[in-house]
Amino acid sequence: MKTMKKIKYIFVVFFMILVSCDADDNRIAVALSNLTVSPEVSDDGSGKVVFRTSATGANVVKYDFGDGTTGESITGYTTHTYTNSGQNTYTVILTAIGSDGNTITETVDVTVDVPVMNSDLVNLLTKGDSKKWFLAASQAGHLGLGPARDGIDGDWWYPKWYSSQAFEKCGSEISDCFCDDELTFSVDSNGEVSYVLDNKGQTFFNVGHRDVVAGTEEEDYCYDYDTSGTKSVIISTVEGNVPEAETTGMQMDFSDGGFMSYYVGSSSYEILSISENLLYVRTYDTLNPDLAWYLKFSAEVSTDGGEESLETIFTNLVWSDEFDVDGTPNTDNWTYDLGAGGWGNGEAQTYTDNPENVIVEDGVLKITAKGTIGGASGVKHYYDDITLLETGGAASNLEDFEGTAPEFSGFGGASSTVIDNPDASGANTSLKVAESLKNNGAETWAGTLFDVTTPIDLNTYTSISVKTWSPAVGAIVKLKLENQANADEFFEVDALSTVENEWETLTFDFSDAPVGTYDRVVLFFDFGVSPVGDAAYTSARIKSENLYEFTYGRVEIRAKLPSAGGTWPALWALGANFDTVGWPACGEIDIMEHVGNNSNTTSSALHYTGNSGGNAVTGSTSVPTATSEFHNYTVEWTADSIKFVVDDELIHTSFVNSSDTPFNSDFFFIMNIAVGGTLGGTIDTAFTEDTMEVDYIRVYQ
């Protein structure tokens, strides 16, 4: 940052000198002389070279970069990127032009090493010829946002928060054009990669880049935009800001302003991960390089080498539930998960065992999600007595909300206001407290900030305590200190609520905070643990845990799915050792997932260590009648492979199972409907109820 400021200062001074000279009618012409150049070749494989030049009496310096391209500069430096693969030497010709039109030239040779394209990566990208990719709309995290920096604890949003920080856009009318783009990568006999984006006539633009087109909307929007034409693709190594384990270290650069579906002005994409079925990239917003955007694409459906139907090896029926006895589900087969919050996925429902949410009726299991029109008023947390603490125990009040209320600013759908203490008992008998309201539909990271007039002295006060009131145990409370004038200067600390519906004091340790000017307080509550309103949405989640658990076999579930926007039904299995090893180490087999906001598609997934959350191994297929007719959803699970099937047709390239995966021990079944959350997306404001019907579940071995 200091270097950039110096460069800007040099440019300003140089520019002022030029302007003042032009304005001086009596100026003395300076003879053109002393043209020198110092090239700085990047060693990261990107092909970038910075040419630093100086020349007495020069108005401009023009460059012939030796690769067929030219440029010019008046700033004393310019940057050029060479794209030819391999190690190449270029003769660069510089021409300085003086105010009187005289010129002098200088030449310099630069050797640039751009790695030859990784053949395995190119094969995955192009299938050795041509391959189409589509937005992974059925997955959580098909569009995500995170910072472009690393190195500060809590500053890195991928992968820790990725699935909960994602924006699900395919359920929204203003962005539905985003969801049918086709991205085609091809490779020719010379190994050159090309790219075509078919956007079906419209592109989804980030709000900050709307001036590229004629629109004036104050939000992200779909616009008519021509993306036709073939772009060349250069793949080079890159040293990103992510940990090495979270990136391939490769970057794609598109020619002629090419981009991947969502327009943020960038033509460079770092490949975070790639497999036969999944391409996960990140790019930097050209208007705000501190922001990184993440996009996830799935490949054209593969049927495992052309195989169209499953030839099962399992024919012996060993367990089933035919749901042929009306009433509550068979207690020999099923028990319940109860409670709110969706276990960290930002879901809106509360799970119950009420017959209105789960019942066997007319020969089918019915799981029904119910809601109030318009949703809940929101989830509320309260906070008070923000206090600075010295190591020795001395304290100083930062804000107790008893006087003039601070000027709150909410973001992500949250807001704060000062109110009368709604629970003046226990640990807090204050008259006034602050209320944090997260409205239905708010982002999981929604929060509120307020500024203080005097920067917080973290040399004297190393901790901060806050009295909080939360409606659930385990709700994340994040306290963040920022510099109003510099968004890059901040430090944040997390704590968890330990009681529900009562006051407690949480202490946040800021002893490791770097030196800075901290004059803004930011508070985030919940991140998906607390219930939303007064159980505005209810549903059911039944499981066979400790009742029926098994290893290997063919599972077949016949079901008809709900269609309402915001519903997220799932038929899946979880490793029975999750209570000892945790998730994702226990493994998860998603036989079928579906979202009402994309009702004609179903997906399947495998979650395990290194491939969890938004980075799972996935596949999807079109099922146009998924919500109006029953279909068979199947997984064939062996010690060697896992295959997913819809109506006997393979829809997921065979996963190679091995002793290194968790898919070699007992799993149990789960069936549920979630509402909203990272995959369910926007909840229809007119939603009242919708049902998943399950005709049977059968296990063959």
Q: What is the CATH number of the domain that holds 80?
A: 2.60.40.10
Residue 304 lies inside a defined structural domain of this protein: no
Over pLDDT 90: what percentage of the chain?
43
User: Which among 622, 617, 667 is positioned nearest to 646, based on CA atoms?
Assistant: 622
Residue the block writes with tokens 């616009």: 223
Residue 9 lies inside a defined structural domain of this protein: no
Of the residues 492, 593, 636, 693, only one is catalytic, namely 593
Cα–Cα distance measured from residue 257 to residue 252, given in angstroms and rounded to the nearest whole number: 12
Using pLDDT thresholds of 50, 70 and 90, give the confidence band for residue 158.
very low
| Contacts of 392 by beta carbon, 8 Å cutoff, 6+ apart | none
For position 478, which CATH number holds? Answer: 2.60.120
Active site residue 311: no
User: Which among 328, 410, 316, 400 is positioned nearest to 367, based on CA atoms?
Assistant: 328
Report the relative pairing of strands 537-539 and 349-351 from DSSP bridges. parallel
- Lowest-pLDDT choice from 1-5, 91-95, 112-116, 293-297: 1-5
Decide: 494 and 478 in contact? Cβ < 8 Å.
Answer: yes
Residue 409 lies inside a defined structural domain of this protein: yes
Same domain, 288 and 334: no
Same domain, 287 and 411: no
pLDDT in tens, 38-78: 999 887 666 788 999 988 888 889 999 998 888 888 778 88
More confident residue, 453 or 375: 453
Same domain, 73 and 189: no
Pick the most confident of 242-246, 441-445, 533-537, 610-614. 610-614
More confident residue, 519 or 81: 519
- Whether 18 shows a pLDDT value over 50: the answer reads no
Same domain, 128 and 225: yes
Decide: 600 and 626 in contact? Cβ < 8 Å.
Answer: yes
Q: What is residue 622's predicted lDDT score, i.e. its pLDDT?
A: 86
Active site residue 588: yes
| Structural domain boundaries, residue 509 | 379-526
For position 589, which CATH number holds? Answer: 2.60.120.200
Determine the average pLDDT of the residues in 329-342.
Answer: 86
- Whether 584 shows a pLDDT value over 80: the answer reads yes
- Whether 614 shows a pLDDT value over 80: the answer reads no
Residue the block writes with tokens 């990184």: 292
Q: What is residue 557's predicted lDDT score, i.e. its pLDDT?
A: 97
Q: What is residue 379's predicted lDDT score, i.e. its pLDDT?
A: 81
Q: What is residue 11's predicted lDDT score, i.e. its pLDDT?
A: 41
Q: What is residue 444's predicted lDDT score, i.e. its pLDDT?
A: 74
Mean pLDDT of the chain: 82
Same domain, 546 and 685: yes
User: Which among 165, 171, 297 is positioned nearest to 567, based on CA atoms?
Assistant: 171
- Whether 371 shows a pLDDT value over 50: the answer reads yes
Residue 4 lies inside a defined structural domain of this protein: no
Using pLDDT thresholds of 50, 70 and 90, give the confidence band for residue 452.
very high
**Domain boundary residue among 241, 265, 299?**
299
Structural domains in the chain (count): 4
Residue 66 lies inside a defined structural domain of this protein: yes
Rounded to the nearest 5°, which phi and psi values hold at 380? -115, 135
**Domain boundary residue among 504, 526, 548?**
526
**Domain boundary residue among 470, 502, 526?**
526
Same domain, 544 and 691: yes
Same domain, 149 and 288: yes
For position 154, which CATH number holds? Answer: 2.40.128
Residue 324 lies inside a defined structural domain of this protein: yes
Q: What is residue 162's predicted lDDT score, i.e. its pLDDT?
A: 35
pLDDT in tens, 647-660: 978 776 568 888 88
Omega prior to 584 cis, within 30 of 0 = yes
Residue 592 lies inside a defined structural domain of this protein: yes
Same domain, 416 and 547: no
Of the residues 588, 629, 689, 693, only one is catalytic, namely 588
pTM of the model: 0.47
Using pLDDT thresholds of 50, 70 and 90, give the confidence band for residue 143.
confident
Q: What is residue 69's predicted lDDT score, i.e. its pLDDT?
A: 86
Residue 54, H or E segment: strand 48-56
pLDDT in tens, 525-553: 887 766 654 446 889 999 999 999 999 99
- Whether 576 shows a pLDDT value over 70: the answer reads yes
Same domain, 522 and 552: no
Same domain, 229 and 129: yes
pLDDT in tens, 190-227: 778 999 999 888 888 887 787 777 555 556 678 888 89
Same domain, 500 and 561: no
| Contacts of 211 by beta carbon, 8 Å cutoff, 6+ apart | none
Residue the block writes with tokens 């207690």: 331
Same domain, 683 and 542: yes
Residue 368 lies inside a defined structural domain of this protein: yes
